[in-house]
Amino acid sequence: MIRLSIRFTSALALIALVLSVFPASAQQDVPAAPVAQVPSLPATPAPAPVAPVFPKTDPANFTAASPSQETVNAFMQANWGYDDTRIWEIWAIQKTEVDGISRVVLLVGDKSGKQKSFIFQFLALADGKHIIYGDDIIPFGAHPFADARAIEQQRADGPYRGSASKDLEIVEFADFQCPHCKDAQPNMDKLAVDFPKARIVFQNFPLPQHAAAATAAAYGYCVTKQGGSDAFFTFASAVFDGQDGLVSADGATLTLNSAVTKAGLDPVAIAACAKTPATLAAVEAMVKLGSDLKISQTPTLVVNGRLIPAGAPYDIIKHVILYQAKLDGVVAQ
């Protein structure tokens, strides 16, 4: 669901953690064997997996003055440090044929030995703030999520529940017509219970392939404007419950008007508000914010600048949020 372009480390690290938490999800039931007539030799136990032993690094591989090994380690720790089983070794920081661009190579493995080790490499740019990984330019440094966090704090203006403080801000980018967004709502409800000190924001991010999504976002904006956050979340729950009705123009009108009524507001007034230039500009600003934060799929969470797939298993989402809060020195619960 999540492309590498939305902070490759968020997606890659989550995948790695999922695999380590759920090493096997299927097994076959085998009928009990008959009583043996002849005693059998004891089975030789399979060797237990062991942590990888990386080759010794060669000082000749470190020819570039920057980035420093300390910065690379801090960057990796920020991205993968929440996974206690993940280990890495910086293998090389080399000059390239382009001044100021360095090649960084790491060996990455798993302490349990259950995951296959791999080589991970990227190009560090001269500004010290970005790297090139594949086709994407990624924020880099000891605090790679800081710039995105600042954007999130300044511009994520959707309805919210929880704390007014933005010390720990969890922003859900969602599309009312997205089935995965509907499926993610139980996770969001759990987060609201488990993180009462967090500010949990719903940020509309209507996708172009969903015909009713932008209209639903406009309605949601007007519901919030006229009724506040409580009215919005009542409206949102009703829209997700009636999501199938958004597939046609008439069905969308009925679904949205019904949701407005459940929120205690006047459907006629909300429909009129949704068509105003100010509201349309607000929806465009919502989309622009998501694009600036490199959101390409819904639902996605942005936790103090860090992107997390909102449809991931809840325990993983909670674990990563706690880790990010620790990195930022904020109280999470």
Note the CATH architecture for domain 147-328: 3-Layer(aba) Sandwich (3.40)
Residue 220, both tokens: 């949601």
State the sign of the Cα–Cα–Cα–Cα dihedral 205, 229, 148, 292. positive
Q: What's the pLDDT at 45?
A: 64
State the sign of the Cα–Cα–Cα–Cα dihedral 222, 245, 2, 81. positive
Q: Which of 192, 177, 146 is nearest to 251 (CA)?
A: 177
Amino acid at 47: P
Q: What's the pLDDT at 196?
A: 95
Q: What's the pLDDT at 114?
A: 82
Q: Locate the domains of the chain by residue range.
A: 1-10+51-142, 147-328
Would you write out the chain's pLDDT as a tens digit for each of its 333 residues?
333 333 333 343 433 333 233 222 222 333 333 333 444 455 656 566 777 889 888 999 999 999 999 999 999 999 999 999 999 999 999 999 999 999 999 999 999 888 889 999 999 999 999 999 998 999 999 999 999 999 999 999 999 999 999 999 999 999 999 999 999 999 999 999 999 999 999 999 999 999 999 999 999 999 999 999 999 999 999 999 999 999 999 999 999 999 999 999 999 999 999 999 999 999 999 999 999 999 989 999 999 999 999 889 999 999 999 999 999 999 888
Answer yes or no: are the C-beta atoms of 295 and 262 closer than 8 Å: no
Q: What's the pLDDT at 47?
A: 63
C-alpha distances out from residue 175 to 203, 224, 246, 297, Å = 9, 16, 12, 9
**How far apart, in whole angstroms, are the C-alpha atoms of residue 298 and residue 172?**
9
**How far apart, in whole angstroms, are the C-alpha atoms of residue 241 and residue 121?**
44
In DSSP terms, 301 is beta-bridged to: 172, 308
Answer yes or no: are the C-beta atoms of 121 and 106 closer than 8 Å: yes
Q: How many Cα atoms within 13 Å fall on the side-chain side of residue 19?
A: 15
**How far apart, in whole angstroms, are the C-alpha atoms of residue 222 and residue 226?**
6
**Residues written for the chain:** 333
State yes or no: cis peptide before 299, omega within 30 of 0: yes
Q: What's the pLDDT at 113?
A: 83
Ranges of beta strands (E only) in 187-296 are 199-204
- To 5 degrees, how large is the angle CA 164–CA 168–CA 174? 85
Q: What is the dihedral of CA 82, 86, 87, 88, to 10 degrees?
A: -90
